[in-house]
Structure 1
Amino acid sequence: MKPTILIIEDNVQNMYMLSYLLTSSGYSVIKAYNGIDGLNLADEKHPEIILVDIQLPDMDGYEICSNLRANGLPENTVVIVVTSHAMGGDREKAIEAGANGYIEKPINPDTFIKQMECIFKA
């Protein structure tokens, strides 16, 4: 059975695309449209993978990554930042905040699952 994935993404179209790609590939998906709900769902559902956008309405993805790690997220949970916020140093900032990997938007639907799985299985 494939892992459960929590997506924390406020953009409805991005959420739809990510959810579609993941469910089509056999993953179970949990959706959160803001950071507070994402943190609560991570605590309640214990997903194996968490995809986090950086630009969210209530807190940024860096803060979410830090909070996830500080609040007892299991060490084997993989957190991947998926964002269009792709400036110099952003990847490093995401890793410092607790992310395991970083994927830039716009995502390529043909390669996204492989990119994610490379980070998850690393």
Structure 2
Amino acid sequence: MPLEILVIDDNRDATELLEELLSMEGHAVRTAATAARALELAHEKPAQIFLVDQNLPDMAGSDLVPLLRASVAGHGDGRCFAIAITGMASGNARTAGGQMGAFDYILGKPLDFDAFDALLARCAAALQAPPAP
């Protein structure tokens, strides 16, 4: 299932790599280097997946995520996933908690592409499933 993905990271190389890889897989990908630009893009067209760096120049990613979720709330069934991609985590995908609780999942840098692909597939399956009553 092709996904609407918004990549938010001020590291241009990382953003371009993710954009290229995700586009090759058939996903619709937009990018932003700041929280302000991400919010503009999210309001123009909501995304299903937000890939967010925790350390943005104008706002912490964990503070941005609730604002991004609000942009999705009035569209479709309002479901989306927020995934942190951060150098502050290690290992494969894990469920967020604590200070990073705004995120659904956390992936560490450098990115484990097998774990990343598996997580996107899991998110796509969840988005295809009927919404909970």
TM range (shorter): 0.7 to 0.9
TM-score with structure 2 setting the length = 0.76
- 1:4 and 1:34 map into 2 onto residues whose CA distance is 18
Match of residue 107 from structure 2? 103
Q: Any gaps of 5 or more consecutive residues in structure 1?
A: none
Match of residue 84 from structure 1? 87
* Code of the aligned partner of 2:116: F
- 1:85 and 1:5 map into 2 onto residues whose CA distance is 22
Match of residue 7 from structure 2? 7
Kindly tell me the number of residue pairs found equivalent between the two proteins: 117
User: Is the CA contact (8 Å cut-off) linking 1:49 and 1:120 kept in structure 2?
Assistant: no
- 1:56 and 1:85 map into 2 onto residues whose CA distance is 13
User: Over aligned residue pairs, what C-alpha RMSD do you find?
Assistant: 2.1
Give the structure, 1 or 2, with the largest relative contact order (CA under 8 Å, sep 6 or more).
1
Instruction: Work out which of the two has the higher radius of gyration on C-alpha atoms and give 1 or 2.
Output: 2
Secondary structure, in 3 states, of the residue corresponding to 2:55?
coil
- 2:61 and 2:104 map into 1 onto residues whose CA distance is 13
- Please, which moves more after superposition, 76-85 or 53-62? 76-85
* Code of the aligned partner of 2:21: L
- Once the two structures are aligned, what percentage of the paired residues are identical? 32
Q: Any gaps of 5 or more consecutive residues in structure 2?
A: 127-133
